[in-house]
């Protein structure tokens, strides 16, 4: 995984915006204004934080040494995925989808309806 591919993948999703609300090196992706993914442009190795179902989060951490409790996030609901080659890109993409879907499911009804109108 690399930052450019991660960014492009996130931005292809409906209703997604990107910005730097915390500092000039933390790139944040939101769907309808709600955060679902973030990454540091300076981290080495690169990594991302993704929202995750709490039970699934624990399962992933047990299975992959490169998936840990979310750095600076709610440790129950967020994972940090370190891009050191131990987690295949396909799985990282699935985890991005999972995070996005969790956030969309938690949106207010009017925001979900508005999102459904996006192309």
Domain ranges of the chain: 3-88
| Residues 64 and 111 sit within 8 Å (Cβ to Cβ) | no
CB atoms within 10 A of CB 6: 22
| Residues 51 and 103 sit within 8 Å (Cβ to Cβ) | yes
Helices and strands (DSSP H and E) totals, the chain: 4, 6
Average of per-residue pLDDT across 1-16: 96
Average of per-residue pLDDT across 61-71: 95
pLDDT band, very low/low/confident/very high, at 74 (cuts 50, 70, 90): confident
Which secondary-structure segment (H or E) carries 46? none
What pTM did the predictor assign? 0.95
pLDDT band, very low/low/confident/very high, at 37 (cuts 50, 70, 90): very high
Task: Give CATH for domain 3-88.
Answer: 3.90.1150.30
Q: Which pair of tokens denotes residue 67? A: 């998936």
């Amino acid at each position: 995984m690399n930052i450019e591919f991660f960014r492009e993948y996130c931005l292809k999703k409906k209703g997604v915006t990107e910005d730097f609300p915390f500092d000039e090196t933390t790139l944040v992706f939101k769907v309808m204004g709600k955060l679902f993914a973030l990454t540091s442009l300076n981290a080495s190795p690169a990594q991302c934080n993704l929202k995750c179902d709490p039970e699934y989060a624990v399962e992933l951490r047990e299975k992959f040494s490169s998936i840990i409790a979310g750095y600076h996030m709610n440790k129950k609901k967020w994972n940090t995925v370190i891009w050191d080659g131990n987690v295949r890109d396909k799985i990282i993409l699935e985890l991005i989808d999972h995070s996005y879907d969790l956030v969309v499911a938690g949106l207010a009804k009017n925001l979900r309806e508005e999102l459904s109108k996006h192309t």
